[in-house]
């Protein structure tokens, strides 16, 4: 089933969401955000579905991050964009059913954040994880309030300030991913894990997710929504995004 720019497939007790704009490396376009939001609503509403899997189409990317091809720097537009995107990236945490991110390639920026908001991350041996927004003069709005909890403060600073990606093996060592999987067997492994979870008692599984996620989505996300529009107003951010569009190195002031 096509929902926006994603494919939604129900396989018994498991729902599979495939981000499907491979020509844009499955960047978080309005179509992908719309489709994923609809898919989450369907997962929540269907009592037969116990677990969801999110993956990307193609062999290169799970999700390359935000789609900034038509980005508008007007203050009101920036605020609306951040409210929508940060809320969207946090949505896997508030879904009551377990979600597995099957990361089949690059998971950068918003794609990285979407993956770590899921309950489990399985990484193809080809996967790479990173928050490269600093190269655009920006910072990751969702990851800055989650990353330190996963990898520690120093590593979170290094990833955010330098912006270089880590390999699938390093992601496992850091606690970003549960384990690496042979690329061709990624979905097989994800489905097997989902089926195993689906055999467990529904209420206990939901309560486990709720307890481990308690405290998420509070003042930290509200602060990010309020503070980050100012960063988009800087000359460095304009230069970074312009350089990205023009496929050249930015010249930061």
Distance between CA 178 and CA 98 in Å, rounded? 14
Q: Three-state DSSP class for 180?
A: strand
Residue 97 has which token pair? 């059913």
Q: Name the residue with tokens 């980005």.
A: 71
DSSP string, 120-153: EEEEETT-EEE-GGGGGT---TTGGGTHHHHH-H
The one catalytic residue in 7, 9, 48, 133 is 133
Q: In 3D, which of 130, 94, 125, 97 has the Cα closest to residue 111? A: 130
Query: Catalytic annotation on 170?
Result: no
Q: In 3D, which of 195, 218, 216 has the Cα closest to residue 95? A: 216
Residue 44 has which token pair? 């929540």
Q: Three-state DSSP class for 82?
A: helix
DSSP single-letter state for residue 233 = T
Q: Name the residue with tokens 């990353």.
A: 147
The one catalytic residue in 21, 93, 113, 149 is 113
6-11 vs 2-3, strand pairing mode: antiparallel
Query: Catalytic annotation on 113?
Result: yes
The separation between CA 33 and the C-alpha centre of its own chain, rounded to angstroms, equals: 11
Asked if residues 109 and 208 have their Cβ atoms less than 8 Å apart, the reply is: no
Question: What is the set of active-site residues?
Answer: 113, 133
């Amino acid at each position: 089933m096509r929902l926006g720019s994603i494919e939604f497939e129900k396989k018994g007790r498991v729902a599979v969401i495939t981000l499907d704009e491979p020509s844009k490396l499955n960047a978080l376009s309005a179509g992908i955000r719309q489709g994923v939001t609809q898919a989450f609503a369907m997962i929540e509403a269907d009592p037969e579905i116990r677990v969801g899997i999110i993956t990307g189409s193609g062999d290169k990317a799970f999700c390359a991050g935000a789609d900034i091809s038509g980005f508008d720097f007007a203050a009101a537009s920036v605020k609306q964009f951040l409210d929508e995107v940060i809320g969207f990236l946090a949505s896997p945490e508030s879904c009551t059913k377990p979600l597995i991110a099957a990361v089949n390639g690059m998971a950068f920026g918003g794609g990285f954040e979407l993956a770590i908001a899921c309950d489990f991350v399985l990484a193809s041996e080809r996967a790479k994880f990173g928050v490269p927004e600093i190269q655009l003069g920006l910072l990751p709005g969702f990851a800055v309030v989650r990353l330190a909890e996963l990898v520690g403060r120093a590593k979170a600073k290094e990833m955010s300030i330098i912006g270089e990606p880590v390999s699938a093996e390093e992601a496992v060592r850091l606690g970003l991913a549960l384990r690496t999987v042979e690329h061709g067997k990624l979905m097989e492994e994800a489905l097997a894990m989902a089926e195993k979870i689906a055999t467990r008692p529904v209420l206990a599984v939901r309560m486990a997710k709720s307890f481990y996620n308690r405290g998420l989505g509070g003042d930290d996300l509200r602060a990010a929504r309020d503070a980050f529009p100012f960063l988009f107003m800087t000359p460095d951010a304009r230069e970074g995004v312009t350089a990205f569009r023009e496929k050249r190195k930015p010249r930061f002031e």
